[in-house]
Amino acid sequence: MTSPGQSGGGGGNSLRAYVYVDKMQPVWAAYVGRDDPNGPGLEGMSQLYVEVAPATLVFSLANAALKNTENSSSMLVAERRYGTLELHSANPDTVRQAGTIILAMIGSSSAPGIAPSLVTTRVINNVTGAEAGLVNRMGVRDRLREGDAMLVVETEPAAYVALAANEVEKQTSLRMVLVRLHGASGRLILAGSEAEVEIGHRVALEALGEG
C-alpha cells in the first residue's frame, strides 16, 4: 500500500499517483498478465503504477526504468492529459529501484504524488438479467450475472484502482468484472454475494484511506 503525500514537480512535470502493490493476487495477476508480452505467471510479484503529467513524460520514464532495471511492463498509456506506466518484478527491491529512478526524473524527492480520492462507491444488490446484460457490453473481464450483488468503485487518480482491486482480492472471492486504470478517473466493478460485496466495500475504502 502507499501513503498520501504531495505531488512533486520539475520543469512542469508532476507525479499524480505512485501505487505500489506488494504482492499480486491470482485474479489481479491474471488481469495484468493478459497484456504482458512475457505471458502469465505474475502471481505473487510486486508491482508499481505511476501516473504522471504531461502524458508524454511516461515514454521517458518507461525508457529509463526498463533500460536500467530488470522490471517488465504490461501497460504504457499516454492520453490527452495523463500518462500511466505499470512495472512488475518477482523482486520487490527491483520494483522499488525503478520507482527511485522515476521519482528522480520527475524531480520528486519522495513518493507518492496526489493522495487517492474516492469519487464514488455504489453497492447494488440482486442485479437483474437486463442490468447484467447492459454491464456485460462494456468490455468486461468476467461476466456479471443475474442475482449478483455488484460493487462499483471510482477513484482519482485512476491508477489507485489497482490497489483497491488487489486488496479486496486478499479478503474476498469477488469476481473482477471491469477495470479501468487510466483517464480522468479509475473504475472497478466487482461482483458476488451480498455478504462478500459488503466486505469488499469496506476493504476498498480502507485501501484508499477512506475507512
Radius of gyration of the chain (CA): 17
- Where a domain ends, among 59, 78, 106? 106
Per-10-residue mean pLDDT for the chain, 211 residues long? 40 88 96 74 95 96 98 95 96 97 85 78 97 92 96 96 97 97 94 98 93 61
Cα 57 to its chain centre, rounded Å, is: 19
Co-location of 100 and 123 in the same domain? no
Co-location of 25 and 60 in the same domain? yes
Structural domain count of the chain: 2
Give start and end residues of each alpha helix (H) in the chain. Answer: 26-33, 57-68, 92-106, 129-135, 160-171, 194-207
Supply the CATH number for residue 43's domain. Answer: 3.30.70.1710
- Where a domain ends, among 46, 75, 106? 106
CA-CA distance, 36 to 72, in Å (whole number)?
Answer: 8
C-alpha cell at 34: 493478459
- Where a domain ends, among 87, 106, 125? 106
Co-location of 78 and 18 in the same domain? yes
- Closest to 168 measured CA to CA, from 119, 203, 143: 203
- Contact (CB, 8 A) for 47 and 32: yes
Co-location of 128 and 199 in the same domain? yes
Helix%, strand%, coil% for the chain, nearest 5: 35, 30, 35
Interval 94-116: pLDDT, tens = 999 999 999 999 987 665 667 88
Looking at residue 9, its pLDDT comes to 42
In a domain, 112, yes or no: no
State which H helix or E strand residue 179 sits in.
Answer: strand 175-180
3-class DSSP assignment, residue 182 = coil
Looking at residue 1, its pLDDT comes to 45
pTM exceeding the 0.85 threshold for the entire prediction: yes
CA-CA distance, 147 to 193, in Å (whole number)?
Answer: 9
In a domain, 2, yes or no: no
Range of the domain at 88: 9-106
DSSP 8-state code for residue 176: E
Amino acid of residue 79: E
